[in-house]
A = this chain, B = another copy of it.
Amino acid sequence: MDEFDFINHIKKKHSLPLVGDDCAVVPKDSETELLVTADMLVEEMDFRLEWTTPRILGHKALAVSLSDIAAMGGKPSWALISIGVPRELWNTEFLEEFYEGWHELARIHDVELAGGDVSRTPSSLVIDSTVGGVVASGKAIKRSGASAGDAIYVSGSLGGAAAGLQLLGKGHRYSHDGTSALSSMMLRQLRPQPRLHLADQLQAGALASAMIDISDGISSDLTHLCTASGTGAQIFAEMLPLETGLLDYAGSFDAALEFAIHGGEDFELLFTADPEKISAADLESVTRIGEVTGNPGIIELVRDGGAKTLPAHGHRHF
């Protein structure tokens, strides 16, 4: 049983209708609903201090939760940070810089830190990031709204964060100018950008039928979306927007595809829509990569005219 199976099990056992999308949707007022989401980041499991800076880590802690708000078509408004700190990081510049990086991103998206907790851990650093946002009532873009015939789109580019993780693991470090492709890929891993502007356009125009953010990898995240929608999907290998420099770094199209399909943490938006609506809208950096099918749970990768079923090989902790 991995964590997704476990969450499904608890959802069923305790009858938890709010659990299972990128955010929970909770009643707010007559016109809007509240979106809430929480993400835990654990040292050694989800990040390493020697690969990043406290400031960039503060950015990421907020970014991963903002990406969940984006995935429902919402606007973030407040946040809580709970942080468990080992003694050796206390009374150092670490927390100062962490909250500085957090606030740099928060200011851009007009998010206010409302509270949280500061605790101590025996060794590893642990961060739990909670964000609250709003969406017009009944208008949250859920994972469950896709229909056969919808086209599948993704924002930005794919595979950079996973390649960046591999680079960091091999001992590479990003440089602050960030101009090389390798630095860019490492920064995709360390400093993801939540796609809130695109989310806003999709929500305002009622353009997307279903949406999820790519946190675990397309193969996993598209499976979640299709399972929730009761559909299948075909994606076209040649249409995937590979991260700049990924093909060079990976050495072959096959290897680049592995990063793009199974690699997590790109924090791009993956959504389904009527292609005529998307063609008519003026969206930046959106690529059509496939279509929704009527084969529930079957995700196929089409390449050179042939299709093969894609296993959900994205990131999981257990």
Contacts and interface: CB of A to CB of B under 8 A. Distances in A.
Interface of A: 1, 3, 6-7, 10, 13-14, 16, 18-19, 23-24, 26, 28-30, 34, 36-46, 77-78, 80, 82-85, 87, 90-91, 95, 99, 103, 112-124, 126, 128, 130, 132, 317-318
A6 B16 CA distance: 37
Nearest to A39: B117
B6 A95 contact: yes
Contacts of A28: 28-29, 34
A196 to B, nearest CB: 19
8 contacts: A38-B130, A40-B82, A40-B83, A42-B84, A42-B122, A45-B84, A121-B126, A126-B126
A124 B87 CA distance: 15
A268 to B, nearest CB: 20
A-B residue pairs, 8 tightest by C-beta: A29-B29, A24-B114, A128-B128, A120-B317, A18-B114, A40-B119, A40-B82, A24-B115
A298 B254 CA distance: 70
Most buried by B among A14, A87, A103: A14
Given A10-B95, A18-B114, A29-B29, 15 more contacts: A6-B118, A10-B99, A14-B113, A18-B78, A18-B113, A18-B115, A19-B114, A26-B78, A28-B28, A34-B132, A36-B80, A36-B114, A45-B120, A123-B124, A124-B124
Most buried by B among A23, A117, A118, A317: A117
B120 A42 contact: yes
Copies of chain A in the complex: 2
A39 B42 CA distance: 16
A314 B296 CA distance: 57
A42 B16 CA distance: 26
A269 B132 CA distance: 27
Contacts of A13: 99
B126 A45 contact: no
Given A24-B80, A36-B132, A128-B128, A19 B115 contact: yes
